Chain A
Amino acid sequence: MPELKQIMSFSAIGLDSPGLVSKITNRVLDLGGNILDVEESCRKGLFSIFLAIDFAASSRSTEEIRDSLRRIEEETGLKVILRVCDENVVARPEAADHVLVTVLGKDRPGIIAEVSSLLHRFNANIESCRMIARGPFFSMEMAIAVQDVHSETFSSRVEALKDMKENLKSLCARLNQSVVIQSERSYRQPKKIVVFDVESCLIEEASVRRFLDAVNQRIAPFGKRIAPHLQAEPGGWARTLVDQVDAFHGVPVQELEAAGRSLELHAGAVELLRILKTMGYKVALLSTGLDCFLKRIYEAEGADYAFCNTLQKDEAGNATGDLEEPVLTASTKNEILEFIMNVEDISRDQVVAVGDGSGGSRFMKDVGLSIACRPAGGALPADGIFSSDQMLNILYCLGITEADIARYRDAGES
């Protein structure tokens, strides 16, 4: 038998029509071929297919096989390309190490070109690439084989990979895009729970000033006032209130709850929480703030878990100026996440954590997917960086497409 007939690649592209896959695969069967690999897609009326076929067991000659497969071109109108594959290449195992890169942001020309050039510079191979959203908003997901990554700066592959990720983040920041880089192993692990740091990620910044004014208005008749200066880091307002909790001594807690009505979540955050719940994810909200301000939000958003500090009150319902024990601190948040994981019987890989990457967000470390919202300098490393108004984009990083989101939006509205 001819020497090169064993493994052939078959690629075809053209206008889509019903029955193409059936026609091609039946022809392969008739020729005694065994399909080793297949990838087919149909986008905007265009059809493409790739097959790797083993003809080792076929009784037909190579010429016969080629002629028969080429006839598909005339029969279907597809453009067909046939190649005999290098057995060594075919026999090589699939790349063992992949990362999944999701790029998201406002669309602009050149994003794909710049990202792919950078990956090429590090010898990372783009194995698949798909658009999740295209329009004013752009989202692209790429599976990158990184086992052969190298860098001019670092000799070790691990360091080179780290360098590539940092460069990719810098590039995306320059292109005004968010980027999330997940290991394939972590991405494949189904996520079960999404944990948010409430004050740094979910609360609308503009509402905080209104809220603090409302607090002072409510406590002024009782001769109380909280210092207006805020802790510098995002969400520092919650710590300000906890630090000055004795200022609430004697104030009816109901007054404070009324002030809490000024505190608002980002519009995107509200929608994100709703879609996550609709899709079956558990949602946990972690805060070191005070329950009298957060209770309304906790109840309204239907979180599965929500934790915060509680203002101690006397029998008349007035604040004593102390907190109920145990007091939750930034470092407690990770313990609470561990507790939730135990209750839910899930591993850290199944957790998505969203925080600001500061010391108060240590629970983000070593989870399946970590997203930092507006991280300050020196923030903990995260898989992705978003601004607060891009919160909804977290869904894309969970493999949820624009069409899925539209469907869940419709379901919510109806």
Chain B
Amino acid sequence: MYAIEAGDLIMHLEVVRVETLREHEETLRHVADTLALEFKNWAHLHNPIIVDQNHIVLDGNHRTFVFKRLGFRTIPVCKIDYYSEHVGLRYWFRLLKGVRGLEGLSRVVEEMEGSLELVTDRPSLAARLEQNPLFMGVELGETRAVLRFPVERVYDGVAAYEALERMQKRMVREGAELEYVPCQTLAGKASCEKPDENTLAIWTPHITKDMVVQAASCGKVFAPKATRHLVAARPINVNVPVRWFREDASLEEMNERFAAFLRNKQIRRFGPGQVINGRYYGEEIFVFYDRKTSRPDQQ
């Protein structure tokens, strides 16, 4: 086993059976297809999947899906305590550009047997959403409203996201353009971005960690882009040979090999806010890299 301590957060790097991983979110087909093509050519897996103690996938949903689809036996993971204060749960809000005004929105909501409850401002909207994690918020120009569906239809987080998915698909069919944005981009205190009259912003249901665990435990999956987990630290650039994970080796053997592989590398810690390999990391990162003197046969 190989562990990294980032303050109170302990990250266990290990290899697990692919079939034991439990996704809690559906994948976006185009993303999975692209990734599958890339994986066929990639010689190395750069970053481990981040999972909780029960193998619920917190970050790396698409990579997990592709690993399963391509018939890999095992997969490297970084195991963390999901309920640690260092693991935050945020959301992807939706922007639907080119909707047909409030009238068009009301019609869609009505046809889906939902209702809109108008509120005066953003703080009021945020306060109402705090009261029920299955509520959604909508903003269209200066209009703000709580969006809710009958409890017999939307009885849990998964159902809430299903309703959201149906609604957004319908609007896309009618010509709207869908964009996923991190929740704080729209709901942040200092945000000055306000949707125009033809851009609908949807504040997605604020599901909880318990709801994620419960869904994953029952084999249920949320619609794509439901959760956005923010982990205070992560290991990156492990660059482990992908071919290893097709081998029919015991987990014990794989883990010994993986730990030895990591021990043979250098590791450097950086605070949040750095860009490595073209990606911005808002969290603390532990970057693995090869010792210059090492030879491939030592790995």
A345 and B290 contacting across the interface, CB-CB below 8 Å? yes
A304 and B269 contacting across the interface, CB-CB below 8 Å? no
Q: Which of A333-350 contact B (CB under 8 A)?
A: 339, 342-343, 345
Q: Which of A241-292 contact B (CB under 8 A)?
A: 252, 254-255, 257-258, 285, 291
A342 and B290 contacting across the interface, CB-CB below 8 Å? yes
With contacts A304-B278, A307-B274, A326-B271 taken as known, whether A254 is within 8 angstroms of B292 at the C-beta atoms is no
B289 and A295 contacting across the interface, CB-CB below 8 Å? no
Q: Which of B188, B191, B266, B275 contacts A305 (CB 8 A)?
A: B275
Does any Cβ of A come within 8 Å of B295's Cβ? no
Give 20 new A-B contacts, CB below 8 A, not counting A254-B188, A295-B273: A257-B190, A258-B190, A285-B275, A295-B280, A298-B280, A299-B280, A303-B278, A304-B277, A304-B278, A305-B274, A305-B275, A306-B280, A309-B271, A310-B273, A324-B273, A325-B271, A326-B269, A339-B268, A342-B290, A343-B237
Main secondary structure of the interface of A (DSSP, over half): mixed
Q: Which of B189, B191, B275, B292 contacts A304 (CB 8 A)?
A: B275
> What is the interface size of chain B, counting residues whose CB is below 8 A from a CB of the partner?
23
Q: Which of B259-296 contact A (CB under 8 A)?
A: 266, 268-278, 280, 284, 287, 289-290, 292
B284 and A324 contacting across the interface, CB-CB below 8 Å? yes
Contacts of A310 in B (CB 8 A): 271-273
Q: How far is the CA of A343 from the CA of B272 in the complex (A)?
A: 19
Q: Give A24-64 as 1s and 0s: 1 = Cβ < 8 Å from B's Cβ atoms.
A: 00000000000000000000000000000000000000000
Q: Which of A343-397 contact B (CB under 8 A)?
A: 343, 345
Contacts of A305 in B (CB 8 A): 274-277
Contacts of A257 in B (CB 8 A): 190
Does any Cβ of B come within 8 Å of A212's Cβ? no
- Nearest-neighbor residue (CB-CB) of B271 within chain A: A324
Does any Cβ of B come within 8 Å of A143's Cβ? no
Does any Cβ of B come within 8 Å of A302's Cβ? yes
Interface size class of A (residues with CB under 8 A): 20 to 34
Does any Cβ of B come within 8 Å of A104's Cβ? no
- Nearest-neighbor residue (CB-CB) of B274 within chain A: A307
B287 and A303 contacting across the interface, CB-CB below 8 Å? no
Q: Shortest CB–CB separation between residue A293 and chain B, in angstroms?
A: 10
Q: Chain B interface (Cβ within 8 Å of chain A)?
A: 188-191, 237, 266, 268-278, 280, 284, 287, 289-290, 292
B190 and A298 contacting across the interface, CB-CB below 8 Å? no
Most buried by A among B274, B287, B290: B274
Q: How far is the CA of A343 from the CA of B237 in the complex (A)?
A: 9
A291 and B189 contacting across the interface, CB-CB below 8 Å? no
Q: Give A301-338 as 1s and 0s: 1 = Cβ < 8 Å from B's Cβ atoms.
A: 01111111110000001000001111100000000000
Q: Can you list 15 A-B contacts (CB < 8 A)?
A: A257-B190, A258-B190, A285-B275, A291-B272, A306-B280, A309-B271, A310-B272, A324-B271, A324-B272, A326-B270, A339-B287, A339-B289, A342-B266, A342-B289, A343-B276
Contacts of A327 in B (CB 8 A): 271
Q: Shortest CB–CB separation between residue B53 and chain A, in angstroms?
A: 24
Most buried by B among A255, A291, A294: A291
